[in-house]
Structure 1
Amino acid sequence: MDGVVDVAKMVGNRFTTNVQSGLANMSPEKWIRLVIIAGAYMLLRPYIIKLGAKAQMKAHEKEEAEAEEAAKAQISPNELRGQAVKIPEDSDDEDDYATAEATGPDWGKKARRRQRTMIKKLLEAEERRLEESKEEEEDKDIEEFLIKE
Structure 2
Amino acid sequence: MDGLANLATTVGNRFATNLRGSFTDLTPEKVIRIVIIAGAYLLLRPYLVKLAGRAQMQSHEEEAARTEAEAKVKISPNELRGMVNIPEDTDEEDDPAGQASGPDWGKKARRRQREIIKRMLEAEEQRLRETLEEQEDKDIEEFLDKE
Q: TM-score range by the shorter chain?
A: 0.5 to 0.7
In structure 1, the residue matched to 2:95 is: none
Percent identity, please: 46
- Cα distance in 1 for partners of 2:21, 2:79 equals 76
- Structure 2 unpaired stretches of 5+: 82-117, 136-147
- Alpha-carbon deviation of 1:26? 1.3
The structure whose RCO (Cα within 8 Å, separation 6+) is larger is 2
Cα deviation for residue 50 of structure 1 reads 1.2
Range that drifts further, 15-24 or 29-38: 15-24
The equivalent of 1:79 in structure 2 is: 80
* Aligned pairs for 1:1-149 within 5 A: 1-76=1-76, 77-79=78-80, 82-83=121-122, 85=124, 87=127, 115=131, 117-118=133-134
TM superposition score normalised by structure 1: 0.54
Q: Which runs of 5+ in 1 are unaligned?
A: 89-113, 120-149
Question: What displacement does 1:84 show?
Answer: 5.1
Shift in CA distance, 20/84, structure 1 to aligned 2, threshold 3 Å: farther
1:48 aligned partner, one-letter code: L
Partner SS, residue 83 of structure 1 = helix
Cα 1:84–1:4 shift into 2, 3 Å: farther
SS in 1 for 2:8: helix
Q: What is the aligned residue count?
A: 94
- For residue 67 of structure 1, report the CA deviation from its aligned partner: 0.7
How far apart, CA to CA, are the structure 1 residues paired with 2:22 and 2:46?
Answer: 30
TM-score (norm 2): 0.55
* RMSD across aligned positions (CA): 2.6
> Alpha-carbon deviations, 1:88-121, whole Å to 9, x = none?
9xxxxxxxxxxxxxxxxxxxxxxxxx837449xx
Tell me: CA distance 1:5–1:49, structure 2 relative to 1, closer, same or farther (3 Å).
farther
